[in-house]
Each structure stands twice: as C-alpha cells, then as structure tokens.
Chains A and B, each alone.
Chain A
Amino acid sequence: MQSPSQLEPLSRRQRRIIFILSILLFLITVPLLVFYAIGYRVDFSDAEQNIRTVGGMYVSTENPDSEIFINDEPVENMRLFQNAAYIQNVSAGQHQVHVQGDGLTTWVKELPVYSHLVTEANSFNMPASSTVRFVSPQINDLGNPVYDKVNESLRPFVQATTSQTIIFATSSNPVLGNVNPEFSFLETIFASTTEDRALLAQKESFTPDRFSFTAPPVFGTTTASSTRVVGDVALAKEGADLFVYWRGDKSDIPFYFCVFSSSYETIASDYGSHVVESIFSTSTSTLATTTFAKNNQLCRTQISIDRKWQSVIWFEFMPGEPSLVLLQLQAGIYVVEIDDRSWQNVQQLYAGDNLTMLINGQQIFVRDGDIYFELLTDPLTINN
C-alpha cells in the first residue's frame, strides 16, 4: 500500500548503524581523552618517542590584571578562575614563572614540573611605588586631608603616591578643616606610653562614628619578639631569625612546605640547597625530625624567612594572606612570601627608618615621623 508520507520513520537498520557508530566512537574516544587528561600527549616531532608525558602549573595571582609568563612566554586564555591560572602541557623540568603587571612589582620563581603532576604557586605583586591613604589631623568637607604648617617635602609626601587631594595650609593660605576622628584615634593608639595616651584622650573628644577598630589592633613596637599565629601557621622570631611553623594536621599542610623529589640531590637541584637543608639533617641520607612523608612528597614543618640580612624590627602575617609575611626591617617595610622553593620573593612596601606600624583588621597603618597613613596593597582598593 502506498504510504502518504514520503518520509518514513527512521528504519531499524538506520538506527542500528547510528547506534553502533556511537558505540565505536565512545570506545575510541574514552581511552584517548582519559590518557589526555592524565597527561599523555602524542608528539610526532620526536621520531623516537611519539608519546610524551606532561605536567602542569597552577599559579594564583592577587591582581586580575597581572600577566603570567612561563619561560618568558605569556600564558594566554588559561585562567580557570578570576585569580588563578592553570597552565597545561608543561613539559617536565625546571621552568621560570613570573607574574607582572603595570605598576606592580614582578614576582619571579623557578619551579620544577613533574610528569602527570601539577606544581602550585601563589604569586603576589605589591605596588611598585608605595601607595598610601593619608590620615591627617584635619579633613575638609570633602574628606580630603588637610595639613597645617607641615613641610610638603617630608618623606611620605614625596615617596608615596596617593589618590587623595592633599591640602597644605600655611599662614598665607589658611584652610579651615574639621578634626579627623580617625587621626585622633590613631594618635592615641600609636602613642608609646600610657601617659601620652591618657593625655591625648583628655585632649580629644572622640566619637567613633566613622572610624573604629574591629578588633584590638596589633601594635607594632611592643610585641616584636612574640609569636604570631594564623590558623595552623605560626610565625616566630628566634634570635635574629624569623621562622614559620606548621602546627596543624599533616594532611592539611600548605603545598609550599612540601617537595615532590625524594633524594638530597634532586631536591637541591629542583628547589635549592636551603630547601634540602630544611628537609634533611646534616647527613644527606637522614630526614630531619621535622620532616614527614605525605603521599609522594616530603614535607617540612619549618621554613626560614628571608630578612635580607637586616634586623627584624617588627613582623606580622600579611592581613588576609597567611602565605605572606609583613616585615619591618631597618630599611623599611617589606612583604615576604613563606614559599621558599627556589627563593623567597621580597617586595618593598615602604622605605624608611623611623617607622611605627600597626594592623587593624585588614588595614596596615604606619607612622612616619608625625605623618600617619594607611599602606594600600589591594589593587581594588588602590584603584578606588
């Protein structure tokens, strides 16, 4: 009988062919993609070995505008998240990675990559020139800092950059400002003696309506020898040196305490002699008592912080960033990473030799002479 439809339903045969083709495609594709995901690559350029293995790098960055380079080649379109990049197809061996951005200090590290494994790194880029927010005794109606009879050539004004409009009042150019409660409070907190603070407290009637400390501030000059603890990481000064200790569960230890290699020689060549010395005891075949094995890694629980051969005046964990240490050395204020693989990046925040610091929550306040300011490190804060 003639069908009214020129289009017959899909025949069983047609469907079976498509089904079998799909199964074949599945059977071919699955092993190929699994091998790819594990880190195998086909390389026809090598006549002797067509199959090679690769590893990867995972680099986190604080600044979304910064660029990542591997062996001086820019890494493009590899960002997994806003502040991190996963770089695939990295061949096994030593690779230099650097992260840079306009107006930022460049972060550089040389790290080993192993087949099938991912090497992690946390980069950080502080402002290349000190960026601050001045906290003046007086402010005008717009909130801009007003300084009365203060020399414009003082170090903070010439050394640091700010987005604020600073007004310098003189006898020939008087400016009427309002009392800045934030300054009054900082002045109280920075005062080094109880008598000074009491005197200041009598002098100012402070209403903390637009500025207050969220927690007792960490005050710089009086606690330099004590231990700082954030989570399971402790920061302590022993003699002239500064050390970071892992106190938590072994399974939770941050990646930079651990290395993949297992022998003295390979660790020394991959990560540097200072790393191998923290993992092994004096004998090259004996692990230090502070070292333990985890999965296929060796982990130490103690890392020395690079103090640039200077005396440590003050130290603290970087607010909100427990993998970084904030140091006040003789020549100024620095940020140092705990990760000592290959070396520790040290970036200067502010140069100066007569400084006092305190931290309030996420804010870093500095007194340079009689000038108070907040050091800005967060790119979002700086841009705003």
Chain B
Amino acid sequence: MSAPKTNNQTLLPYAKREDFHVGRATELTGRDRRLYRFLEILPGAASWITLIGMLALSNFAPFIAAYFIIGFAIYWVLKTAFLSYHLRYNWKRLRHHLSLDWASLIERFEYGHIYQVIILPFYKEPEAVVDATLASLDAVNYDKKNIIVVLASEERAGLDAQDLAVQMKDKWGSEFGKFLITTHPADVPGEMAGKGSNAAYAAEEVRTKILDPQGIRYNHALVSIFDIDTILYPDYFNCLIWYFMTCEFPLKSSFQPVPIFNNNIWDAPALARVVAMSSTFWEMIQQERPERMATFSSHSVSFQALYEVGYWQKNMVSEDSRIYWNLMIANNGDYRVVPLSYPVSMDANAADTLWQTVKNIYKQHQRWTYGVENFAYIVYHFSKNKTIPLRRRALITFQQAEGYWSLVTNPIMLFILGWAPIFLGTQAFHQTVLSYNLPLMVRDLLSIAMFGLVVSAIISLTMLPPRPKDKSRFKYIVLALQWVLVPITMIIFSAIPGLHSQTRLMLGKYMGFWVTPKTRK
C-alpha cells in the first residue's frame, strides 16, 4: 500500500490508518481483505444478477416480467422529468452566475492572503492544448501574483514533455506569482501510473518548494486541480473565493465547478458531442443535489484539507472522486462538496477518425465508470469509521449502490430487455393482450421520456461556444437533432463500459489508468 509522503503527525487521526489509502483488496490481509474483496464483487454481481434475472423472469414468469417492465418504464419517465427539472434549474443558475460581476462581489472580503495553487497534470498532450489552458489562466480576473502554477509532468512521458514544460514556463512563467515544473518519477513502487500519483507528487513539491519556503499557510492556499485541457472562464477564481469565504466550513469543503466538454465541440462528431454534453448535464444535475456529489475531474480544495489526508491516492484510477471520499471519511463525515454552478470548459473526446473517437470514448467512460472501485472503499471504511453518523453512512451506501447499479442496468433493461418477455415468454403469454400491449406501452413511455431530450437539446444549444466561421448555421439543427442518439450512447458509452468495469473489478482484473488523448485543431 502506498503511504502518504506527508508527515504522519500532520494527518488526521483516521488518515493515519494503514488501510486508509487502500486501492484494492490485494493490499489488505485476513478478514479485511475478504470484506474488501466481497465489496469489490458486489456491484458487478448485482448488475449481472439483475440482467440475467430479467432474462430468466422473461422466460419463466413473463407476466411478472411484463408488469415489472411497465413499472420500470414509468419510473424512467418520472426519473427523466425529475432530473430534467434539476438540469433546467441549474442551467438557469449557471447562466446567472456567468452574468455576475464576481470581482465586485468579493470586494468586501479580505482575500489577498489566499493563494491559488493550480496543478496541471499532463502527460504527452500537444503544445496547443497546454498553451491554451495557460492562456486562459493568464486571462482570469484575479491578481496573478497570487497564482501559483504547477505544470506537473511525468518522467515516463519522455524528454519531449519535459521540454514542453520548460517552453511553457519560458512563455508564461512571468505572468504568474510562481511557476513550478514538477516531474513525477516513473515506476515508483506502490504507485499506479496515473493522474493521482502525479498530482500528489506535485502537491508535495509545491509544499516543500513554495509554500513552506514562502511561509504560506496551508489554509491560505486553495488548490485547483485541472485537467490539462481545462479552459477557465475569467471569474472562476473570484467565484471560488466567494464560495470559499461564505461557505460554512471552507476547510472542510471541496468546490466543484461544472465541467463543460465543449472546447472542440464544433469539430467533434455527433456521438462525441452527445456523450460530452450528457456528462456535463449529469454534473449540472448533481450540482442541485450536493449531498450526492463527489468531486469529479477539475475541482478545488484547500491545501490544508489535502495535506491532512496525504493528497490524492496514488494507487487507483478514480483519484478525482476518491479524494472526496478520503476527505469525507478522514473528517468523520464532516466534509462536503460545494457546487459552484460556474463552468470550466474542457475537450469533448474526439479523435482523428470516428472509429478512434468511439474507442476513446469507450475507454474514457470505462475509466470513469471504474469509479465503482470507490464503492468498496466507502463501505469498507464506513464499517471501520463508526464516528460517521449511521444515517449518513446508510444513505451514502444506498445512493452509491443505486447509482452504480442503475448506471449499468437501467439502459439495458429499458432499451433491450424491455422486449425480452416478447421473445422469451411462454405461448400462454403470447396469446394475451399484455404481450401485445407491452412493446406499445414501453415505446410510448420512452417517447414521453424523450421529452427530457428536448430540454437537453435546447440547453445544449445555449452552451455552445461561438460558431466558427467555417461552420454552417445548418449545424445548429444537427446539434439539436443529435440527441436522438442518446438511447444508443447510453448503452454503448455508459451501460456497457460500466458493466465492463464492474465485471473487471468483480473478477479482480484491476484496471490501470488510461490517459484520454487530447488534440487540438
């Protein structure tokens, strides 16, 4: 198990446990290992049992299966309406936040002592991607003397990446208070090559090379970890300061912007656009129910909070959400995510060819849905840390279990298994009006649920970056109509990679970190 580099005395009491940063069952022994392994198996087993059970029910008890499917389709309609309501609400809030003059709003606060530490982990992304991110950072409405940029490179990325980091420092270094290049060493024992280990290394480097020498207190440093393709909106840090200064527990909170995957939206194929905007919409919905939120992708958090748990985990894939669970569990439940309802722009997953795009999206979503590894971590530590209120533990366990289960099973049950009784049912079933009404009813209910897509289409059009001159106005129509692809994308890029991830975890075939390729035209 990888131990945090920070001084053990500075860690929160619970974070000092040997198993605090457990990444997988094999890192434990004895009863703990068996418990953790069971928890790794559980999500995949539940999904497979549901799907196979649905087939069996369709074959042996088609009437019950048909009633269940009707109920499930109604549930889906209501869920779509419920989530669309949240989405629309957050959209209004996000637009409102974009219209605010945040700089004047935070004038009343004394925040000159707060430093913004920007960690930008990167691997082999091209110069254009890194340069655009730094350019957007340079354009923010914030005193850049208080901005510390950390360009976190990987040794295993080779000399080209190191050269690029130096080149970027030469170009942008003078614009910010500090500009630090870190190089995460390759093949560190106990680490998984990935963003978590790189970010953790960079954070410790910042501490030892800038914060401590400069005498910057850890609770005066706000760390924002951004994917290397993140383009900031001008008032991001002002908005962050406002929430940091006004929230009830600033040092016990992570701050989550809305990642809008639209940097390259005009060049991405329809599939990539739908998948990208769907991910954005999901985060927007979550912003309206923060008790369900974990940090995702780009986010901000105080350095002190990070330091108290030993930074990001280095031995697992989903470090962006895991850091929230680390913090929540180490703080005995006294930790939360504050939704900013303020956007950051990132790249939609688009490659040079459609097929490569499809493969990349699948891999990216397989990595995201591998966040199911958090389920074992959460429940395992909930069984250990009894100081977290039982109600909260129970609620989070249920929400997480339901989330991972529904991610995989719901689209497959609705769009594929919904028809299973018709094909697998007995002859006695096929003679009934129920057998004939079932597909019609499911079709009609799904058509009603498609209304949610209309809301999505309208909102997505309002979130587009300016249309490039070489793109026809006709493309707006395509961008609206592309939402009919949702049933396909839900299965191919959500349910199947999710099932793939859960199955791998269930079988103990643990995944490594896959870096999403970023390009810029």
CB distance from B1 to the nearest CB of A (A): 38
Stretch at the interface among A22-30, A147-155, A168-176: A22-30
User: Would you call B514 an interface residue if the criterion is a C-beta within 8 Å of the partner chain's C-beta atoms?
Assistant: no
Specify which chain B residues have a CB less than 8 angstroms from the CB of A1 in the assembled complex. 246
Q: Does A86 contact B (CB under 8 A)?
A: yes
Query: Which listed segment binds B: A34-42, A156-164, A357-365?
Result: A34-42
B78 and A56 contacting across the interface, CB-CB below 8 Å:
no
Max chain A Cβ within 10 angstroms of own Cβ: one of B70, B288, B439: B70
B102 touches A4 (CB 8 A): yes
For A36, A37, A38, the residue with the greatest tally of chain B CB atoms inside 10 Å of its CB is A37
Given contacts A10-B288, A116-B432, contact A4 B242 (CB under 8 A): yes
- What 0/1 readout, one digit per residue, does chain A (230-256) give for beta carbons within 8 Å of chain B? 000000000000000000000100000
Q: Would B427 and A294 count as touching, CB distance under 8 A? A: yes
Tell which of A26, A39, A88 touches B74, judged by Cβ atoms closer than 8 Å: A26
Are B435 and A34 in contact (CB-based, < 8 A)? Answer: no
Q: Which of A's residues lie within 8 Å of B, judged by CB?
A: 1, 4-7, 9-10, 15, 18-19, 22, 25-26, 29-30, 33-34, 36-39, 54-56, 58, 80, 86, 88, 116-118, 251, 294-297
Contact B96 A7 (CB under 8 A): yes
Check: B287 CB closer than 8 A to any chain A CB: yes
B73-106 interface (Cβ within 8 A of A): 74-75, 78-79, 81-82, 85-86, 89, 92-93, 96-97, 100, 102, 105
CB of B442 to closest CB in A, whole Å: 10
Residue of chain B at shortest CB distance from A11: B288
* A interface, over-half SS: mixed
Main secondary structure of the interface of B (DSSP, over half): helix
Interface size class of B (residues with CB under 8 A): 35 or more
* Bound complex: CA A58 to CA B432 (Å): 11
Q: Specify which of B96, B288, B436 is in contact with A6 (CB 8 Å cutoff).
A: B96
> Top 4 nearest A-B pairs by Cβ distance?
A295-B428, A37-B437, A39-B433, A4-B105
Residues of chain A contacted by B86 (CB below 8 angstroms): 10, 15
Residue of chain B at shortest CB distance from A251: B427
For the complex, give the distance between the alpha carbons of A19 and B66 in Å: 25
**A368-B289 Cα distance, complex, nearest whole Å:** 81
Partner of B435, one of A7, A29, A118, A294: A118
Set of chain A residues within 8 Å of B246, measured between Cβ atoms:
1
- Chain B residues lying within 8 Å of A38, measured Cβ to Cβ, are 432-434
Given known pairs A4-B105, A9-B288, the reply for A18 and B441 (CB within 8 Å) is no
Contacting pair B434 A37 (CB below 8 A): yes
Q: In whole angstroms, what is the CA distance A110 to B100 when docked? A: 73
For the complex, what is the distance from the CA of A5 to the CA of B246, rounded to whole Å? Answer: 12
Q: Are A55 and B339 in contact (CB under 8 A)?
A: no
B318 interface residue (CB < 8 Å to A):
no
CB distance from A331 to the nearest CB of B (A): 38
Q: Chain B residues with Cβ under 8 A from A36's Cβ?
A: 437, 441
* Known contacts A5-B96, A10-B289, A117-B431; A19 and B74 CB within 8 A of each other: no
Known A4-B100, A295-B426; 10 more pairs at CB < 8 Å = A4-B105, A5-B97, A7-B96, A9-B93, A30-B71, A33-B441, A56-B437, A88-B436, A117-B431, A117-B433
Interchain residue pairs with CB less than 8 A apart (27):
A4-B100, A4-B102, A4-B105, A5-B93, A5-B97, A5-B100, A7-B92, A10-B86, A15-B288, A15-B289, A22-B79, A22-B82, A26-B75, A30-B70, A30-B74, A33-B441, A37-B66, A38-B432, A38-B433, A38-B434, A56-B436, A86-B436, A116-B433, A117-B431, A118-B433, A294-B427, A296-B431
The answer to whether B67 and A295 have CB atoms under 8 Å apart is: no
CA distance A33 to B444 in the complex (A): 12
B93 x A296 contact (CB < 8 A): no
CA distance A343 to B150 in the complex (A): 86
Is residue B341 within 8 Å, beta carbon to beta carbon, of the partner chain? Answer: yes
The residue among B82, B246, B436 with the most chain A CB atoms within 10 A of its own CB is B436
Tell me how far the C-beta of A323 lies from the nearest C-beta in chain B, rounded to whole angstroms: 17
- The closest CB in chain A to the CB of B243 belongs to A4
Q: Are A37 and B438 in contact (CB under 8 A)?
A: yes
Give B432-462 as 1s and 0s: 1 = Cβ < 8 Å from A's Cβ atoms: 1111111111000000000000000000000
Nearest A residue (CB) for B104: A4
When distances are taken between beta carbons in the complex, the residues of chain B under 8 Å from A86 are 436, 440
B binding-site residues for A, Cβ under 8 Å = 66-67, 70-71, 74-75, 78-79, 81-82, 85-86, 89, 92-93, 96-97, 100, 102, 105, 242, 246, 287-290, 339, 341, 426-428, 431-441
What is the bound-complex CA distance between A251 and B426, given in angstroms? 9
**How far does the Cβ of A61 sit from chain B's closest Cβ, in whole Å?**
16
Instruction: Give the shortest distance, in Å, between B477 (CB) and chain A (any CB).
Output: 28
Q: Contacts A9-B288, A19-B82, A29-B74: A295 and B431 contacting too (C-beta < 8 A)?
A: yes
What is the minimal beta-carbon distance from A112 to any residue of chain B, in angstroms? 13
* A-side contacts of B75, CB under 8 Å: 26
Chain A residue nearest in CB terms to B92: A7
In the bound assembly, the distance between CA atoms of A88 and B427 in angstroms comes to 19
| Residues of chain A with a CB closer than 8 A to B85's CB | 18
Chain B residue with Cβ nearest A39: B433
Known A37-B433, A39-B433, A88-B433; contact A7-B93, beta-carbon cutoff 8 A:
yes
Bound CA span A375–B91, Å: 66
Complex Cα gap A58–B102 (Å): 65
Bound CA–CA A25/B434 (angstroms): 22
Give the distance in Å from the alpha carbon of A86 to the alpha carbon of B437 in the complex.
9
- Distance in angstroms from A316 CB to nearest chain B CB is 29
Tell me, rounded to whole Å, the shortest Cβ–Cβ distance linking A235 to chain B: 24
State whether A22 and B78 are in contact (beta carbons under 8 Å apart), knowing that A4-B242, A38-B433 are contacts in the complex. Answer: yes
Give chain B nearest CB distance to A299 CB in angstroms: 11
* Assembly CA distance A88 to B242 (angstroms): 61
Chain A residue, CB-CB nearest to B290: A9
In the bound complex, CA of A294 to CA of B144 (Å) = 82
Q: How far is the CA of A205 from the CA of B432 in the complex (A)?
A: 60
Report the separation of the CA atoms of residues A39 and B433 in the bound assembly, to the nearest whole angstrom: 6
A90 and chain B: residue at smallest CB distance: B433
Chain A residues whose CB sits within 8 angstroms of the CB of B70 once the complex forms = 30, 33-34, 37
Provide the residues of chain B in CB contact with A294, threshold 8 Å: 427
Q: Which of A18, A22, A33, A118 is close to B431, meaning CB atoms less than 8 Å apart?
A: A118
Chain B: minimal CB distance from A298 (Å): 13
Most A-side CB within 10 Å, residue of B66, B78, B290, B341: B78
- Closest A residue by C-beta to B100: A4
Q: How far is the CA of A251 from the CA of B290 in the complex (A)?
A: 55
Query: Which one of A5, A18, A295 lies within 8 Å of B427 (CB-CB)?
Result: A295
Task: Tell me the complex Cα distance, A10–B83, Å.
Answer: 12
Minimum CB–CB distance for A347 against chain B, Å: 28
A25 contacts which chain B residues (CB < 8 A)? 78
Across the interface, which residues of B come within 8 angstroms of A10, CB to CB?
86, 89, 288-289
Most buried by B among A9, A38, A294, A297: A9
